[in-house]
């Protein structure tokens, strides 16, 4: 089964173009099964501010108290998830919205309860359930809320959740959809980078800010999974070029020297 996992960042959800949805239909017509994992950081931040709930970031991750977790789940699994499902269905794409805690889809463990609270990392993915949905030609749309054996829920970074799903499904492609065309240097798109070059670009400051968690998740997925490449791409345009290739910056696994 040819599978593409698409991670939509919270910053791009309101700007996804008609061309983006058309390209998903095109990929499905070309035989690909699609899974979407989405974020929603800006929406969570807005709701926390509205409810006057204080939150802070530790090493780039939102410290998640029980109060913050309740808001994160409400926003991610409610408002954001259903909005994205609705947009897909309006575009003629069969989609089903799910929380990562449904059917133990994203089984999680805490990263560091003391410093981060209920922030988790993915221990296991229920690929059996996902595969059944894909066989029925649905596009599963997952919010990154995980759950453990004690049914405790965790907020999971969406980049990490998407990478975990892609590795578990042995996906052909993992796309990080954001609000920029890919990785830029001096305003120019870098079409393909090796993992070693990405590390160098982080060190020199070409890759910075919110792009760092994306490329770190990409590097981790390439190191520990069967994926050979990961693409960072804009959701403001079509995902597919005129020649049928996927646009953006492709990060490829470094060839081992024997």
Catalytic residue among 10, 39, 146, 235: 10
Task: Give dist(CA 139, CA 117) in Å, integer.
Answer: 31
Catalytic residue among 63, 153, 214, 247: 214
| CA dist list (Å): 190 to 181, 183, 245 | 9, 6, 15
Backbone angles phi, psi at 116, to 5 degrees: -110, -15
Catalytic residue among 9, 39, 41, 182: 41
Q: Which of 203, 168, 190 is nearest to 3 (CA)?
A: 168
User: Does residue 7 have an active-site annotation?
Assistant: yes
Q: Which of 16, 12, 17, 11 is nearest to 45 (CA)?
A: 11
Do the beta carbons of residue 144 and residue 155 sit within 8 Å? yes
DSSP 80: I
User: Does residue 250 have an active-site annotation?
Assistant: no
Do the beta carbons of residue 98 and residue 80 sit within 8 Å? no
User: Does residue 41 have an active-site annotation?
Assistant: yes
User: Does residue 10 have an active-site annotation?
Assistant: yes
| CA dist list (Å): 216 to 36, 72, 198 | 19, 23, 9
Catalytic residue among 63, 146, 159, 250: 159
Burial class for 231, CB neighbours closer than 10 Å (0-12, 13-18, 19+): buried
User: Does residue 120 have an active-site annotation?
Assistant: no
Catalytic residues: 7, 10, 41, 159, 214
């Amino acid at each position: 089964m040819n599978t593409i996992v698409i991670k939509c960042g919270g910053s791009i959800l309101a700007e996804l173009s008609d061309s983006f949805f058309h390209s998903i239909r095109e990929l499905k017509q070309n035989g690909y099964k699609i899974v979407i994992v989405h974020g929603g950081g800006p929406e969570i931040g807005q709701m926390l501010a509205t409810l006057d709930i204080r939150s802070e970031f530790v090493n780039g991750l939102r410290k998640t108290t029980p109060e913050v977790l309740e808001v994160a789940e409400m926003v991610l699994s409610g408002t954001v998830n259903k909005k994205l499902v609705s947009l897909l269905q309006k575009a003629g794409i069969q989609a089903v919205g799910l929380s990562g805690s449904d059917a133990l889809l994203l089984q999680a463990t805490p990263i560091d309860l003391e410093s981060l609270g209920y922030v988790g990392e993915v221990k296991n993915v229920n690929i059996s359930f996902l595969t059944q949905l894909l066989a029925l030609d649905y596009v599963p749309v997952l919010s990154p809320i995980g759950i453990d054996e004690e049914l405790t829920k965790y907020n999971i970074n969406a980049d990490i959740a998407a990478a975990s799903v892609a590795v578990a499904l042995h996906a052909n492609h993992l796309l990080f959809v954001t609000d920029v065309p890919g990785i830029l240097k001096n305003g120019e798109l870098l079409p393909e980078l090796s993992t070693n070059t990405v590390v160098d670009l982080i060190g020199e400051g070409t890759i910075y800010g919110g792009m760092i968690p994306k490329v770190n998740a990409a590097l981790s997925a390439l190191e520990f999974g069967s994926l050979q490449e990961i693409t960072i791409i804009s959701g403001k345009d079509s995902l597919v070029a005129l020649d049928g290739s996927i646009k953006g910056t492709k990060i490829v696994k470094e060839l081992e020297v024997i």
